[in-house]
Amino acid sequence: MTGTDFALEGVSMRFDALTVLEDVSLRIDAGERVALVGPSGSGKTTLLRLLGGVLEPTGGGVRIGGAALAGMSPAALRAVRSQIGFVHQDHALIPNVRVAHNVATGRVGRRGLFGVMRDVLWPSRDTLAEMHALLDRVGIEEKLFERTDRLSGGQRQRVAIARALFQQPSAILADEPVSSVDPSRARDTVELLQSISRDDGITLCASLHNVELAREFFPRVLGLRDGCIAFDVPSGELSEDAVAELYELSSNEMLADGA
Amino acid sequence: MAREGAAARPAPLGVRGQVLLALLLAGVWAFWQLGLSWGDLVPSEGGRAIAGEFLVRAFSPALSSEAEFVPPDAPPLLLQAWRAVGATLVFAAAAMSLSIVFGLALGFFASTAWWSCTFPAGSWIARTLYVVARTVVALMRSVHELLWALLFLIAFGLSDLVAVFALTIPYAGTLAKIYSELIDEAPRDSARALHAAGASGVAVFCIGLVPRALPDMAAYTFYRFECAIRASAVLGFFGYETVGLYIKQSFSSANYGEVWTYLYALLVVVLVFDVWSGRLRKRLLA
Amino acid sequence: MSARVEELRRARPRDGFLRVSCALIAVAMLGAWVFGGFDFGDTFSERRADNFARFLHDIRPFPLQGREWDFGIAWEWATDLLARRGFDAIVGTLAIAVLSVVFAAVSGALLAVLAARTLATAEPLSVAAMRGGGWRAAGWNALSAGVRLSLIVMRSMPEYVLAFLFLAMLGPNAWPLVLALAIHNAGILGRLYAETIENADPSAPRALRGIGAGRRQIAAVALWPAALSRGLLYAFYRWETCVREATVLGMLGVVSLGYWIADARNREHYDDLVLLIGLGVVLVLAGDLVSAWVRRAVR
């Protein structure tokens, strides 16, 4: 499997009066691993959703795999999205069904409604084996038929990753994948994402609160502040000063945090 | 009470208190409007005789027919009661099976989520179709099943199948209303994930939203099934062979023991269903 | 690998009760169609089609029978009928619905206090461990279970059957209808209110119990106000059904909309009948609107 590349060209994003991103330009090459860091409200989630083709920018253009998203037909846009695995901060799983059912929904972009229904109600041997292998890879193979809401937060996170992998994606976008787990689990999860990206050669872009993890597992770190790129450096060159400046609270942000 | 300065103080009653007070006042008005008196709760001479005779028989329901003339081919009373309960259940089950199918279909169309999934945001077609679906659902359920039964009885004559349709129309409407509300209130997070994975609008709706509302929908459907059993029993008053028919007939011929037999038969069925659906509800919504 | 999947599949947690229940219901529904003895041929027979054609003819407003459609005449006919029957019918139906919902809510609330498992015990809200007095505890348990059982019995009887029986005993006034609706709905509201009390945050009542408040004081001070919002919410949900039911209960022979509908049927004035059913639709929808409006206010 090969990765896909992303490009943002002068992208701005406004929600009504609120400007979340301002004139952001950025390239992520195929197979690259990029960490997004920055304080809450700096626009990390919005940036990821733009990269995933879920949001349409209010200004500028997004390219995924070389193709411009603007003016794309809904079907073509869905095809692009189905190539990108998205790991959501709140996992966004269906709680009252089995793990296997949640994993099966990952392939909805390619298999369509009835394909997924089949995979849920009468899964073939191969499909089950494939899902089991994915769960094995994320370390919870014994939970294949468990009800999703009986799992711990960390286990749910892994189900969400398995669901994204079942998409056979060429890129994974992860929004705060470790915000809801304890520090040692956080390290495991980031390491897992890193190994997936490295072994399968797929692009990985994850937003993280923890700069140390970003530095350790991602060759490139991108700092975001107030909707602008503060720095974009190889992790070896990331200075303590830059990090301190990124998280230094301005009065502006204190207001945003209070809201 | 309207002293000066009173207006400056906060209202002595909150909105809830006012609603409660208004409800109680409306109750007083209704009491007066209906010309009721507490004395009427005590039956008059004739009524007292019937009431006494009827209530006493609660302790000795009939085990065999009490009619003076029993046709030779008439089944024994208990078998008759068994059959009446069976017919009641058949009408209820048949009507519920149709109601669930139509309720699901209409419930999809009557939910805002369906239209926001299948049409681009703000489409006037979607808004029109939504209003049409809601109106159809409202009309279906605002006519009582007995009135549908009466209308169909006049229009088509006595027919079991038509009675099932009479039950189905308001029940499908009610299910559709509740289903649509439950789907619209379901959390949207898994729908968001499916959207990001490239799912079409219909797939987002069916896989992302409906399963989250499904336990509530199932619990409510069980409750409606219980209601359908009661409604189907009452259909007997219009000539269908459910429990109501026999209650009416036996009561009219003053065979009060038989009435109690049928009442107890109905009671047992509904009680069993009530307890059963209560336990299911706990399982489903656990 | 496949063997492991099979092993996991066998060991998957299953809810047998749920599965059996769903299977039973599905079988019942299918069985109803297969063995229910429905005569499909007869339903769609020519005789029924003729009957239906005659019905369509009969529901044409009486002054317009055999004439061309004229909105003026139709309007005059409709307003005349509504003026003669409509007002009484609406007022009677609404009054029955209002009174029954008030009775149902009041008695439901009183019964709920006795039915709630957290309250109707020897030690309300279990602030202290149960002390000795096994008889006292057993008495409360029996009372509470008895009330719960009677709530089930109350709600399990169809309103129409209850009204029919009461009518024979109390004679043709509005009481039988009001009682029938009130009893059935008190059974439903009692259960809902008891659940509300059971699920309510127990800290305030516990604090009161701690300073020595009695059962009645706890109910009056801590539980009622907290439960009032939910209580009104549920009462107005039931109000919607009460309006619906009140329209038809009149068919038993007491003045509400149903009485005039039954009257029109007996005279075979099917045009009037359809118009009055239409009036019922308006009434029910208006009741729903009131309910939705009030529920938004108290939520």
pLDDT digits (tens, 9 = 90+) for A114-171: 999 999 989 999 999 999 999 999 999 999 999 999 998 889 999 999 999 999 999 9
> Closest by alpha carbon to C185, among C238, C147, C227?
C238
Q: Is A125 on the interface with C (CB under 8 A)?
A: yes
Residue B6 has pLDDT above 60, yes or no: no
Distance (Å) from the C-alpha of residue A127 to the closest C-alpha of chain C? 11
Band (A257; pLDDT cuts 50, 70, 90): very low
Contact yes or no for A146/A158 (Cβ under 8 A): no
Query: Would the CB atoms of A106 and B214 count as touching at under 8 Å?
Result: no
B32 is a domain residue: no
Contact yes or no for B85/B273 (Cβ under 8 A): no
Please tell me whether residue A118 adopts helix, strand or coil conformation: helix
Distance (Å) from the C-alpha of residue C25 to the closest C-alpha of chain B? 8
Mutate to test the interface with A, among C2, C4, C8, C18 (most CBs of A within 10 A): C8
Query: Would the CB atoms of B198 and A54 count as touching at under 8 Å?
Result: no
Chain C residue closest to B15 (CA)?
A: C298
Q: What is the CATH number that goes with domain C76-298?
A: 1.10.3720.10
Query: Would the CB atoms of C1 and A98 count as touching at under 8 Å?
Result: no
Find chain A residues with C-beta within 8 A of C4's C-beta. Answer: 132, 141
Contact yes or no for A33/A192 (Cβ under 8 A): no
Chain C contact partners (≥3 CB pairs within 8 A):
A, B
B218 is a domain residue: yes
Beta pairing, strands A59-64 & A228-234: unpaired
Which candidate from C38, C94, C297 shows the least CB-CB separation from B161?
Answer: C38
pLDDT digits (tens, 9 = 90+) for A49-101: 999 999 889 988 999 988 888 888 889 999 999 999 999 988 899 999 999 99
pLDDT digits (tens, 9 = 90+) for B268-278: 999 999 889 88
Q: How far apart are CA A107 and CA A162, in angstroms?
A: 11
Structure tokens at A229: 């790129």
Contact yes or no for A189/A181 (Cβ under 8 A): yes
**Tokens 């007083």 identify what position?**
B28
Query: Would the CB atoms of B19 and C38 count as touching at under 8 Å?
Result: no
Chain C residue closest to A150 (CA)?
A: C13
Quick one: average pLDDT of B194-215? 91
Neighbours of C45 (CB within 10 A): 15
Q: How many residues are present in chain A? A: 259
CB pairs under 8 A between A and B: 78
Q: Specify the number of domains making up chain B.
A: 1
B136 is a domain residue: yes
Query: Would the CB atoms of A145 and C2 count as touching at under 8 Å?
Result: no
pLDDT tens digits in sequence order for chain C, 299 residues long: 588 888 888 888 888 898 999 999 999 999 999 988 887 877 777 788 888 888 888 878 877 777 777 788 888 888 888 888 888 889 999 999 999 999 999 999 899 888 887 776 666 655 444 455 677 778 888 888 899 999 999 999 999 999 999 988 888 888 999 999 999 999 999 999 888 888 777 777 778 777 877 777 777 777 777 778 888 889 999 999 999 999 999 899 887 899 999 988 888 888 888 999 999 999 999 999 999 888 888 87
**pLDDT > 90: what percent of chain A?**
53
Which candidate from B34, B90, B151 shows the least CB-CB separation from C99?
Answer: B34
Band (A258; pLDDT cuts 50, 70, 90): very low
Band (B1; pLDDT cuts 50, 70, 90): very low
User: Which residues, in sequence order, are CB contacts of A36 under 8 Å at separation 6+?
Assistant: A44, A47, A48, A205, A206, A207, A208, A222, A224
Q: Is A76 on the interface with B (CB under 8 A)?
A: no
Q: Is A1 on the interface with B (CB under 8 A)?
A: no
Neighbours of B71 (CB within 10 A): 8
Chain A residue closest to C13 (CA)?
A: A146
B131 is a domain residue: yes
Structure tokens at C99: 């009174």
**Ramachandran bin of B24, using left for φ above 0, alpha for ψ from -120 to 50, beta for the remaining angles:** alpha
Contact yes or no for A203/A5 (Cβ under 8 A): yes
Contact yes or no for C207/C201 (Cβ under 8 A): no
Q: Please report, for the domain that includes residue B215, its CATH number.
A: 1.10.3720.10
3-state secondary structure A170-190: CEEEEECCCCCCCHHHHHHHH
Domain coordinates in residue numbering, chain C? 76-298
> Closest by alpha carbon to C115, among C76, C96, C142?
C142
Distance (Å) from the C-alpha of residue C191 to the closest C-alpha of chain B? 11
User: Which C residues 6-65 touch A at CB under 8 Å?
Assistant: 8-9, 11-13
DSSP single-letter state for residue C131: P
B45 is a domain residue: no
**DSSP-derived secondary structure for C208-220:** HHHTT--HHHHII
Instruction: Give pLDDT, residue A259.
Output: 37
Chain C residue closest to A128 (CA)?
A: C5
Q: Is A133 on the interface with C (CB under 8 A)?
A: yes
Q: Is B96 on the interface with C (CB under 8 A)?
A: yes
Instruction: Give pLDDT, residue C127.
Output: 47
Residue A26 has pLDDT above 80, yes or no: yes
Structure tokens at C87: 């007002």
Instruction: Classify residue A2 by burial, with Cβ atoms within 10 Å: 0-12, 13-18, 19+.
Output: exposed
Instruction: Give pLDDT, residue C89.
Output: 87
Which candidate from A132, A146, A147 shows the least CB-CB separation from C5?
Answer: A132
Angle between helices C224-249 and B145-156 (to 10 degrees): 10
Instruction: Give pLDDT, residue B11.
Output: 53
Query: Would the CB atoms of B50 and C169 count as touching at under 8 Å?
Result: yes
Instruction: Give pLDDT, residue A204.
Output: 95
Chain A contact partners (≥3 CB pairs within 8 A):
B, C
Which candidate from C48, C98, C173 shows the least CB-CB separation from B36?
Answer: C173
User: Which residues, in sequence order, are CB contacts of C82 under 8 Å at separation 6+?
Assistant: C275, C279
Instruction: Give pLDDT, residue C208.
Output: 79
Find chain B residues with C-beta within 8 A of A106's C-beta. Answer: 197
Which residue range is the domain that position B271 belongs to?
79-284
Distance (Å) from the C-alpha of residue B248 to the closest C-alpha of chain C? 8
User: Which residues, in sequence order, are CB contacts of B277 under 8 Å at separation 6+?
Assistant: B219, B222, B223, B225, B226
Beta pairing, strands A18-28 & A84-87: unpaired
Find chain C residues with C-beta within 8 A of B234's C-beta. Answer: 158, 160-161
Report the helix count and the strand count for chain C, using DSSP H and E. Answer: 14, 0
Neighbours of C270 (CB within 10 A): 21
Find chain B residues with C-beta within 8 A of C288's C-beta. Answer: 138, 142
Q: How far apart are CA A255 and CA C273, in angstroms?
A: 66
Contact yes or no for A3/A202 (Cβ under 8 A): yes
Which candidate from C171, C270, C280 shows the least CB-CB separation from B154?
Answer: C270
Band (B113; pLDDT cuts 50, 70, 90): confident
Distance (Å) from the C-alpha of residue A133 to the closest C-alpha of chain C? 8
B71 is a domain residue: no
Highest mean predicted confidence (pLDDT) among B52-61, B165-174, C286-295:
B165-174
User: Which C residues 165-204 touch A at CB under 8 Å?
Assistant: none
